[in-house]
Amino acid sequence: MTDTARLPFPLPPIIFLIALIVGVGLGILYPLPWFGDVLGDILFGFGWLAALGAVALWFTAIRMMHRAKTPLNPVATPAHLLTSGPFGLSRNPIYLSLATLVIGIGLIIGNIWLILLAFAAGLVTSRLVIRREEKALAGKFGKKYHDYAKRVRRWI
């Protein structure tokens, strides 16, 4: 990526980790009401599905990047534009997996703060990281990236 995409450290995992820590803290200090009985059990099950799906998506995207010999570090210059597999569903499957994991944990433990903060972390990631990455990818891959961006959504 060009210098416009460079950050001093891999920011997205930190953003989502902060959301997770703050959400758990808020859930302890200021718990919000949660659904009980059957609906709570259903949401608990969906939480596990979301968390397991997030982990699977993360590993699949990481494996694909490793096979393509493109850097995993979001501040490094990409060697290739990946457009298939998980990258055919989302331009940012790793960030999507982080957001989905936080949402899944929120559903598992019954913490609405985590769900809200997962969306906030996604917004922060979009503004601070994804926009820079997209600009750098467009600069490096040109029309190929623009065609890909028209075909595949940023998140889902």
pLDDT band at 92 (very low <50, low <70, confident <90, very high): very high
Tens of pLDDT, residue by residue over 104-131, are: 999 999 999 999 999 999 999 999 999 9
pLDDT on residue 71: 85
Element (H, E) at 55: helix 37-67
pLDDT on residue 105: 98
- Chain centre to alpha carbon of residue 21: 16
pLDDT on residue 76: 76
pLDDT on residue 7: 54
What is the average per-residue pLDDT within 69-94?
Answer: 89
Tens of pLDDT, residue by residue over 1-52, are: 344 445 556 789 999 999 999 999 999 999 999 988 899 999 999 999 999 9
* 79 compared with 127, residue with greater pLDDT: 127
